[in-house]
Amino acid sequence: MNFFIFSKSSYNLFFLFFISISSRLFSSIFYMEDIDSLRFALSAFNYDVLENQPHFPGYPLFCFVFNLLYHITGSLGFSASIIGGLSIFIIIVFTQKIYHLLIHKDSQFLNLLLFFNPFLWLMSNRYMPDLFGLALLVGGLFFLISSIQDDTKKNLIYLGFFIGCLIGVRLSYVPFFLPVLYLFFHKHVKYFIFSGLFFVLVWFIPWIVVTDVSELIQVAVNDTQGHFFRWGGTIYSQSASFSHRFVKIVESIFADSLGMWWSGRHWITIVNSFFLIVLFCISFFRMYLDTKSLKKEFFIFLLCIFCYFIWVFLFQNIVYKPRHLMPFIPLSCCLLSIGFDYLYHKINFKSIVYMMCLCLMPYIIITIKLVSQHKNNSAISQISAYVTNFQGNKIIMSNHLMNYYFNKTIQDDIIYLDNKADPNIIEHYYSNYFRIFTTHRLSSEEYYLVNKLSFYHNPYVNKLWSHLTLYEYEKKE
């Protein structure tokens, strides 16, 4: 069963570390795939939260590491992949430790599921802090569970370290640790508090030093209100019904995160779904048989998951950004591993291993296909390259976010207009033979449509702007 060796030996840990980093470097991307990635990329050149490089809460610890690696490697793609490879290494190591604490076994199958997980692999190459945050979350979860089993100073200090760093990397993951309040009944809780506070101050003080405090407070208030009530995709800022939000969570956890079937996907995802559903069923059956043996650590673990579920369901953009559901991936992989390990030991003959390896092939094929597609430009990046190649006077008309993206990625002299620009202004440039590039069709029939182009990328690589249409207008000679 040792087709992906994992043990406590230094040699095997080094091998896991090496393959995690090298595999992610091999799949690096070298373009700005969306507006969020662009803002983090800009932070590597000039970190400025007040200019949305990146947006609040600033992700100072992640940006520091990203900036440091960029100045060493000179490449945004390689810098992001190094962080991604390190993150996947941490995720595998600590998920395995959590699995051992709860199930009292090691699972080589779990390592494979995490290493080849399609969504984790994609995120390990994106210019974003989510995977690094997930690594800190999993590390913190291990020490939370360990502190419940063994209330030692060491466990609480490490827990404080991981949560303190997590706040500076991915603040929106912190609600996952609401059950940490349970620790306030422990006699050594002061070590957790002091440790967490210390590691927050390690990155918070330098952040305040380089940022204007009064303006930072204004940005914090404005962006917090904006996130919850205007543009953040929460229940207050988005018209999506509760049922639609729940469906998108299901899609994110199973289709995006595990490569299972959803409407419009390739037939191989059906094969993958069959295999994973069988393992899920076996896992739940196994857990049902062992209900009496489940300890409080397992219920604390489930409580963390429940708290985070409520948080994302109400207050995160789960309709368009499945990355908010990433903390469910280690849980899903643990459940699948329970099913596989039970089946393996129950049947107890080696052919089951080869059969499961064969069944795992669709999962790996889906990952390889998505990762290879990820190396191709996203739809908006394709438009940026297309417009750049046009020689002559040109105008881009689009929404605020797309205009921001084009302005930062197209080096030419371009005039940017909002979709709702004054018709007289549009007419002025049209009459002067400017080529008008717009992401929506102009209503007036007076404008001559030169070209209409569609740009695509796989939405299971990136949900944002996966299909865009570009209209070109220019006055006839």
Confidence check: pLDDT of 61 > 60 = yes
Residue among 401, 460, 178 nearest 311 (CA): 178
Distance CA 454, CA 312 (A): 33
User: How many of the other CB atoms lie within 10 Å of CB of 55?
Assistant: 18
Strand order in the sheet with 394-398: 415-418, 394-398, 435-438, 467-473, 449-456
Per-residue pLDDT tens over the stretch 333-348: 999 999 888 887 777 5
User: What's the chain's average pLDDT?
Assistant: 91
Token reading at 216: 């930072």
pLDDT band at 353 (very low <50, low <70, confident <90, very high): low
Distance CA 119, CA 113 (A): 11
Confidence check: pLDDT of 355 > 90 = no
Per-residue pLDDT tens over the stretch 120-131: 999 999 999 999
Per-residue pLDDT tens over the stretch 377-414: 999 999 999 999 998 899 999 999 999 999 999 988 89
pLDDT at 417: 94
Question: What is the three-class DSSP state of 476?
Answer: coil
Kindly state the average pLDDT of the residues 268-277: 94
Angle between helices 108-115 and 10-26 (to 10 degrees): 20
Phi, psi of 434 (to 5 degrees): -80, 140
Confidence check: pLDDT of 71 > 50 = yes
Q: What letter represents residue 139's amino acid? A: G
Phi, psi of 374 (to 5 degrees): -65, -25
pLDDT band at 6 (very low <50, low <70, confident <90, very high): very low
Residue among 395, 473, 402 nearest 441 (CA): 473
pLDDT at 286: 83
> Which residue has better confidence, 83 or 443?
83
pLDDT at 12: 85
Confidence check: pLDDT of 297 > 90 = no
Distance CA 474, CA 205 (A): 53
Tell me the pTM: 0.94
Kindly state the average pLDDT of the residues 225-231: 85
Query: Can you say whether residue 392 is alpha, beta or left, with left for phi > 0 and alpha for psi between -120 and 50 degrees?
Result: left
Distance CA 11, CA 114 (A): 20
Contact 337, 113 (CB under 8 A): yes
Distance CA 437, CA 435 (A): 6
Query: Helices marked H in 290-395 — which ranges?
Result: 296-315, 328-347, 351-374, 379-389
Of the chain, the percentage scoring pLDDT greater than 90 comes to 70
Distance CA 160, CA 166 (A): 10
Strands 435-438 and 394-398 come out as: parallel
Contact 380, 405 (CB under 8 A): yes
Least trusted range by pLDDT, from 21-25, 292-296, 464-468: 292-296
Distance CA 428, CA 447 (A): 12
Confidence check: pLDDT of 188 > 70 = yes
